[in-house]
Amino acid sequence: MWYNSTMSNRKKALKKPRVTVVDENPGWGIYVWRKADGQLFFDDDDNILNIPSRQFDVEKMKQIAEAAAHYGEPEGRGHLGRMGDQGCKL
């Protein structure tokens, strides 16, 4: 094995890495449709009208509003349910 003087200085040259804390919830979730009375919009099979999305995704909000209007519930708003370890929290 060979050795030179720059190898002994290597430990001094190494710096501690920077650590960046990552947000636990980066804004992913499911937009669901809340009717004007505050109830979630279900179909006849008890499925909630939803679309996977990031928070504040205007295109996804528009898509769910169009779908709700198509299925007869134009009054209401999209609501983001956050994804977590136990599923989606509405």
Q: What is the pLDDT of residue 23?
A: 65
Closest alpha carbon to 78 in 41, 47, 28, 42: 41
Q: What is the pLDDT of residue 37?
A: 95
Q: What is the DSSP track for the chain?
A: ----HHHHTHHHH--PPP--PPPS--SEEEEEEEETTS-B-B-TTSPBPEEEEETT-HHHHHHHHHHHHHTT--SEEEEEEEEETTEEE-
Q: What is the pLDDT of residue 17?
A: 77
Q: What is the pLDDT of residue 78?
A: 93
Q: What is the pLDDT of residue 21?
A: 74
